[in-house]
Amino acid sequence: MNKLGILMDDRYFDHAVEPRSLENPKRLRRLYPLIKERYNGAFRSVAPREASFDQIEQVHSNFYINQVREHAIKPDPFSYDRDTYLMDRSLATAQLAAGGCLAMADRVMDGTIRNGFALIRPPGHHAEPGRGMGFCVLNNAAITAKYLQTRYQLSRILILDFDIHHGNGTQDVFYDTDTVMFISVHQKGLFLSSGTPGEIGEGKGRGHTINIPVHSLFGDTEYTYLFGQLLNNVVEQYMPQIILVSAGYDGHEDDPISATLLTTHWYHTVTTMIKQCARDICDGRLLYLLEGGYNPESLEDAVLATIDSLLAPEQPRVGIFHSTRAQALLNHHPLNEFWTL
């Protein structure tokens, strides 16, 4: 039985605008046939479905959904937000993106696949309960986590976000609960002012939001050290029942939107680390959800590196070199009040 599921659907190209935005169908149009050719027979295809409005409204307000409907039919596709365009097919495409993640989650939970990669668009981690922004219409990761709580009664879910931007929307949804741990490693001060170390959650959620804003020019060594500390310590203490990854590839050294220096190989490395963590803690249950990545060539290379890692046989633990610059971010971080590093 193939243990890797991949979700691809040409209907994700329906959300599009001219003149072209950085978030456009070209991000996936060439990647889909590359995957089918390179991994023919090595993975299980998963078909998406549309998320219902009841499922969406576990995260987003009815008022916001009505706003999306209203702006989607206006002549100006940027009438709602200067980055987040809305067209007549945008809401249906976003429903298909969120619902695709739910279909993948079902297959992971019933054991049909061990881990999966939902190659969806539009992305989601910036979408707050009452507002879309930053190319994001519906928060795919948050909707999936809520679905897992409702459908499967999961009480410890990890959402790990390595997109170069802070996942403000996902953080907002789960800020006051300990049933979801949200960890975001992102470039400091890029796009939003949120995502500071002091944002730790509130009420029962204190300590379950962890933000690591990194400096520009951080690369493979620093990121691998940070993820090693988080996965081998904090995540092992939390013991999630499933790991959701908001997989943004805009931290790549060739991406136009960031100043970090992650190589294609790093995405293979971090996936190996996350996969091993999932194997040890939650019976391998792992689901990647595509977020950013705005250079189609580097996005393709990094996604293929991720899939290579997901398909690879079990390997020894990744070696982690010490990074003084990365450790400096952890020395006085508020997470030390709640977790042992």
Give me the sheet containing 157-161, strands edge to edge: 44-45, 4-7, 115-118, 286-290, 242-247, 157-161, 180-187, 209-214
Calculate the CA 183 to chain-centre distance.
Answer: 11
Burial label, 210 (beta-carbon count in 10 A; 0-12, 13-18, 19+): buried
DSSP 38-84: HTTTTSEE----PPPHHHHTTTS-HHHHHHHHHHHTSS-TTSS-SS-
Inter-CA distances, 136 with 206, 209, 264, Å: 26, 21, 24
Residue 208 falls in the annotated catalytic set = no
Find out whether the peptide bond into 122 is cis, omega within 30 degrees of 0: yes
Calculate the CA 36 to chain-centre distance.
Answer: 22
Catalytic pick among 15, 60, 71, 126: 126
User: Are the C-beta atoms of residues 237 and 281 closer than 8 Å to each other?
Assistant: no
The residues with which 39 forms a beta bridge, in sequence order, are none
Helix axes 90-109, 140-152, angle to 10 degrees: 40
Tokens of 316: 């020894």
Catalytic residues: 126
